[in-house]
Amino acid sequence: MDFLTKFIKSKKDLSSKSPKGYEYEIKIGLKDITEREFMALPKINNIITTEEILYSVKSSSTVTVREISSDFFIKEKISSKTISKFNAEVVLFLKRRYHKEEGMALRIKRNKERSTISYDKFKIDSTRITSEAHIHYKIKLEVLDDDCEPKLLELILECIRPSTVLQIFKLINKL
C-alpha cells in the first residue's frame, strides 16, 4: 500500500500550507458492508447517536455540507484510490466549518449510530446509518498519526474483512 505513503505526504504538505481551520483526514472506507461484518466488530459503550442533514453545494459531487446540531461542516474529497483487494477506498478529505448559503440543496436526513475503537495511530469507526426506510453500514479506518505504518493498516483490513482475502487466495490458486 505504497500509495498510502503518498496520501500521508500530501496531507502533511496541505496541512502546512493551508490557513487555520482547515483539517485534513485520511480514511479507508470499506464498501458494501454487510450487517454480519458490522456486527462482528466489537461495540464499545461509546456509541454516539447524531442526526445529520446533508446538503449539496452548487451541484458539486465532491462537496457535501453536514448540519449537525445547527453547525455546518464541509467535507470535500481531495483525492481517492480504490483498494480492490479489500473492496475499499482510501480518501484524503478536507474538513472545515462552513456557513449556510443560498443554493444549498437538501440531499438527505439521516440518523447515525457510531462506535469508535481508538488506537495510537488510527481508529476504527463502525456506523449504522438510518435514512427514511433504508439502513446501511459503514466501517472506516482513520489515520490519526502521519507515521502510521501502511502494513499495520493492511493487517487491520484483513482482520475486518477476511472474506475478501480468502476469495483472492482462491482466485490465485485457480490461476
Burial 113-139 (b: 16+ CB within 10 A, else e): ebbeeeeeebebbbbbbeeeeeeebbb
The answer to whether residues 57 and 65 touch, using CB atoms and an 8 Å cutoff, is: yes
Q: Which CATH number fits domain 3-173: 3.20.100.10, 3.30.565.10, 3.40.50.2020, 3.40.50.720?
A: 3.20.100.10
Percent of the chain with pLDDT over 70: 87
For 15, the grid coordinates are: 496541512
Nine-digit cell string for 112: 447515525
3-state secondary structure 73-90: EEEEEEEEEEEHHHCEEE
Q: Are 141 and 121 in contact (CB under 8 A)?
A: no
Name the DSSP letter for residue 75. Answer: E
Contacts of 111 by beta carbon, 8 Å cutoff, 6+ apart: 49, 50, 51, 52, 129, 130, 131
What is the rounded distance in angstroms from the CA atom of residue 72 to the CA atom of residue 117?
25
Percent of the chain whose predicted confidence (pLDDT) is above 90: 33
Q: What is the pTM of this model?
A: 0.80
What the block records as the C-alpha cell of 66 is 453536514
Task: Look up residue 147 and give its DSSP letter.
Answer: T
Cβ pair 56, 66 in contact under 8 A: no
**pLDDT tens digits, residue range 103-122?**
777 888 889 999 988 888 99
Band the pLDDT of 40: cuts 50, 70, 90: confident
Mean pLDDT of 144-166: 81
Q: Which helix (H) or strand (E) holds 166?
A: helix 162-174
| pLDDT score for 10 | 93
pLDDT of residue 170: 53
As given in the structure block, the three cell numbers for residue 151 are 502494513
Q: Are the beta carbons of 74 and 95 closer than 8 angstroms? A: yes
